[in-house]
Chain A
Amino acid sequence: MEPVLEVKDLSISFTQYQGGTRRRELPVIRNLSLTVEAGQVAAVVGSSGSGKSLLAHGILGILPYNSHMEGELRYKGQPLTPKRSEALRGREIVLVPQGVTYLDPLMKVGPQLRGGRRDAQAKARSRAVLERYGLGAETEELYPFELSGGMARRVLIATAAAQSPGLLIADEPTPGLDARAAGRILGHFREIADQGAGVLLITHDLELALTIADKVAVFYAGETVEEANASDFSAGRLRHPYTNALWNALPQNGFTPIPGAQPWPGEEGSGCPFAPRCPRRTEACVGEIPVRSVNGGRVRCLYPEGGERP
């Protein structure tokens, strides 16, 4: 079967003006590749500022006007042109945004769920979808500021589930929720995937992502450094030094911090962006780094663990 979403060599950059006149291209995402299959939850894990939200906006075709996108996007086998993504977004491809600020502060929940439609069918549908997420019919009459954090999150999911999407993109859907509430929210995404949709879960929280994801793409400074199966993590089959470091930084795995910091967009040198922080780097790491398949996953590293040793 065709994957729901294929992203190949995606690059996104911004045009910036320095001192008013000097134009500069600021690359934020470089050569990113990723696939999401139907019925699958694919997680994209990366730290703040690594370009996760931009990836989501790029797929939806809603990048800011001063940005430039290159590469290949395919939805269910067909190229995702700007025109096609405009036709699909909101119906086939839906977004669950990060927080309550993505709801119109002056519009009641009901009309926001229905997105401008007023017919009886739309009403019945918004009722049903609220109920599905444990929200009563009275929620329709509330304004966003009257929702609790968890309710707002469920309303946002409801906006997406009110359609029957082929692809759901969730951008950081759980910040500010305690572990149990976050687990429940993620459970809803698993459910949507189990019904046949592809789910792209974007988060900085590896631990939470692993609770529902089938596979994980690890994002570093605008690049996917590794695509791994979820089971690879606990089985110790990780490939990229950064993925390993992320895994070891989790509380239950020793809480080992990674020294250094992720480079800012435009400040990466050539070659591997992780090299300055990498224990396995050599001089060769400043050159071109190809992507290769190792143990059923993909990694962008010259010296992956589980591959040949340096």
Chain B
Amino acid sequence: MKHRLIFTGKKLIRMALLLLGVSLAAFLLMSASPLDPLQTNVGQAALGTMSQEQIAKLEEYWGVNDPPLQRYLGWLGDFVRGDMGTSLLYRQPVSQVIGQRLQNSLWLMAFAWVFSGLLGLTLGILAGASRESWGDKLIRGWCLLISSTPTFWLALVLLIVFAVWLGVLPSGLSVPIGVDAASVTLGDRLYHAILPALTLSITGVANIALHTREKMIDILESDYVLFARARGESKTSIILRHGLRNVALPAITLQFASISEIFGGSVLVEQVFSYPGLGQTAVNAGLGSDLPLLLGITVVSAAIVFGGNLIADLLYGVVDPKIRRGAARA
């Protein structure tokens, strides 16, 4: 038990250091960006008609004249005290903006994560177990096709087919247009999340299925499966008794590693579907030089991804007898 606590503690410290690094990297990239916050947010024309005083005021608001290091340290100091600052674009506390958007995205990502995980695992096991059959070829062909298709392109295809041609699903946003917030139902939200979630899932499935298939083939070629056959176990029994058991560990790793891919995919997908989630907001914050918001989003999403990895490591300790028994003895 003590062993596990030390392990978890070490992981948490590492995670904090990584978050620090990530936020610094995001900050440096943003200060190196050639975008002028005034020009992008106020507009060239409007800027031309303003007085020097007004411009100076705006410059102060966007923090153009502060030295970069001072801006970063200021942000970091507040963040450590639990204050993520105020979004320059939305004029709301960053934590509030993120909270709202994350809620929208979480629906999407959680669905895609669970769905692509389960479907990918199933397809991968089936394909690996029936290697070189037409079913395997079909699954593999489909996965290769999907994983070589850019996410935004897939999103556009689905959009055209379901929203434009068939007209059965909405083409964007997370709620119906022209309906006030109070009367939006859960059904409305789900209905609007279907297309983006589907796009995200389809891309996720391919990767998980292909990797699971490789693992399954390795397992079926292992010595212990040969011995199970020598002992008269049927193919079904071998897959159920040995295949599933041994594919579980790599599946956990794959599943939690896919969180970061789903996050990345959501940025593009939300953009295509004008879905007001975290990904879309991150793009806005980046293009609009909204430093506090961008740093906030970066840190929160990095924390979720690292948190996923941490959970995977902890689950490993529960599932893998080598770690479990090793820990019990220590």
Interface residues of A (CB under 8 A from B): 57, 60, 62, 86, 88-91, 94-95, 97, 99, 101-107, 115-116, 143, 145-146, 159
Chain B: CB-nearest residue to A156: B227
A97 touches B223 (CB 8 A): yes
B231 touches A94 (CB 8 A): yes
A95 touches B228 (CB 8 A): no
Q: Does B321 contact A (CB under 8 A)?
A: yes
- The interface residues of chain A lying within 8 Å CB-to-CB of B232 are 86, 88-91, 115
Chain B: CB-nearest residue to A111: B241
The residue that A101 contacts in the complex, of B223, B233, B321, B322, with Cβ under 8 A, is B223
Q: Does B245 contact A (CB under 8 A)?
A: yes
A107 touches B231 (CB 8 A): no
CA distance A17 to B330 in the complex (A): 51
CA distance A144 to B232 in the complex (A): 20
Q: Does B242 contact A (CB under 8 A)?
A: yes
Q: Does B237 contact A (CB under 8 A)?
A: yes
CA distance A99 to B237 in the complex (A): 22
Interface residues of B in 172-212 (CB under 8 A from A): none
Closest chain-A Cβ to B303's Cβ sits at a distance in Å of 32
The residue that A89 contacts in the complex, of B224, B231, B241, with Cβ under 8 A, is B231
A116 touches B230 (CB 8 A): no
Q: Does B226 contact A (CB under 8 A)?
A: yes
CA distance A167 to B245 in the complex (A): 31
A106 touches B246 (CB 8 A): yes
Chain A: CB-nearest residue to B230: A95
- The interface residues of chain B lying within 8 Å CB-to-CB of A90 are 230-233
Q: Does B14 contact A (CB under 8 A)?
A: no
Some 8 contacts from A to B, beta carbons below 8 A apart, are A62-B229, A88-B232, A90-B232, A90-B233, A94-B231, A95-B231, A106-B320, A116-B233
Chain B: CB-nearest residue to A159: B231
CA distance A190 to B80 in the complex (A): 73
A102 touches B237 (CB 8 A): no
Q: Does B325 contact A (CB under 8 A)?
A: yes
Given A143-B321, A143-B322, A143-B325, do A104 and B246 touch, yes or no (CB 8 Å)? yes
Chain A: CB-nearest residue to B226: A62
Return the 4 tightest CB-CB contacts between A and B, nearest first: A90-B232, A90-B231, A102-B227, A95-B230
Closest chain-B Cβ to A100's Cβ sits at a distance in Å of 9
CA distance A57 to B226 in the complex (A): 9
Chain B: CB-nearest residue to A102: B227
What total of A-B pairs shows CB separation below 8 Å?
67
A115 touches B231 (CB 8 A): yes
Interface residues of B in 230-289 (CB under 8 A from A): 230-233, 237, 241-242, 245-246, 248-249
CA distance A89 to B222 in the complex (A): 18
- The interface residues of chain A lying within 8 Å CB-to-CB of B245 are 104, 106-107
- The interface residues of chain B lying within 8 Å CB-to-CB of A116 are 233, 237, 241
- The interface residues of chain B lying within 8 Å CB-to-CB of A101 are 222-224
Q: With a 10 A CB-CB cut-off, give which of A86, A94, A103, A106 has the most chain B CB atoms.
A: A106
Given A102-B224, A104-B245, A105-B224, do A115 and B233 touch, yes or no (CB 8 Å)? yes
- The interface residues of chain A lying within 8 Å CB-to-CB of B229 are 60, 62, 89
CA distance A143 to B328 in the complex (A): 14
- The interface residues of chain B lying within 8 Å CB-to-CB of A91 are 232
Given A90-B233, A106-B245, do A145 and B322 touch, yes or no (CB 8 Å)? yes
CA distance A114 to B234 in the complex (A): 15
**From DSSP, what is the main secondary structure of chain B's interface residues?**
helix
Chain B: CB-nearest residue to A62: B229
Chain A: CB-nearest residue to B248: A106
Chain B: CB-nearest residue to A143: B321
- The interface residues of chain B lying within 8 Å CB-to-CB of A60 are 229-230
The residue that A103 contacts in the complex, of B224, B233, B237, with Cβ under 8 A, is B224
Closest chain-A Cβ to B41's Cβ sits at a distance in Å of 57
- The interface residues of chain A lying within 8 Å CB-to-CB of B226 are 57, 62, 97, 102
Q: With a 10 A CB-CB cut-off, give which of B223, B237, B320 has the most chain A CB atoms.
A: B223
- The interface residues of chain A lying within 8 Å CB-to-CB of B224 are 101-105
Closest chain-B Cβ to A168's Cβ sits at a distance in Å of 12
Closest chain-B Cβ to A66's Cβ sits at a distance in Å of 11
CA distance A159 to B237 in the complex (A): 17
A102 touches B223 (CB 8 A): yes
A107 touches B322 (CB 8 A): no
B228 touches A104 (CB 8 A): yes
The residue that B242 contacts in the complex, of A86, A89, A104, with Cβ under 8 A, is A104
- The interface residues of chain B lying within 8 Å CB-to-CB of A89 are 229-232
- The interface residues of chain A lying within 8 Å CB-to-CB of B320 are 106
CA distance A99 to B226 in the complex (A): 12
CA distance A143 to B325 in the complex (A): 9
Chain B: CB-nearest residue to A99: B223
Closest chain-B Cβ to A112's Cβ sits at a distance in Å of 9
Given A107-B245, A145-B322, do A97 and B227 touch, yes or no (CB 8 Å)? yes
- The interface residues of chain A lying within 8 Å CB-to-CB of B241 are 104, 107, 116
B321 touches A97 (CB 8 A): no
- The interface residues of chain B lying within 8 Å CB-to-CB of A105 are 224, 246
- The interface residues of chain A lying within 8 Å CB-to-CB of B222 are 101
- The interface residues of chain A lying within 8 Å CB-to-CB of B321 are 106, 143, 145
Given A101-B223, A102-B224, A105-B246, do A62 and B230 touch, yes or no (CB 8 Å)? yes
Chain B: CB-nearest residue to A144: B224
Closest chain-A Cβ to B38's Cβ sits at a distance in Å of 61
Closest chain-A Cβ to B137's Cβ sits at a distance in Å of 16
Closest chain-A Cβ to B227's Cβ sits at a distance in Å of 4
Q: With a 10 A CB-CB cut-off, give which of B226, B227, B241, B246 has the most chain A CB atoms.
A: B227
For the complex with contacts A89-B231, A102-B223, A106-B321, 9 further pairs of A-B residues with Cβ separation under 8 Å are A89-B230, A90-B230, A90-B233, A102-B226, A102-B227, A104-B246, A143-B325, A145-B322, A159-B231
Chain B: CB-nearest residue to A59: B230
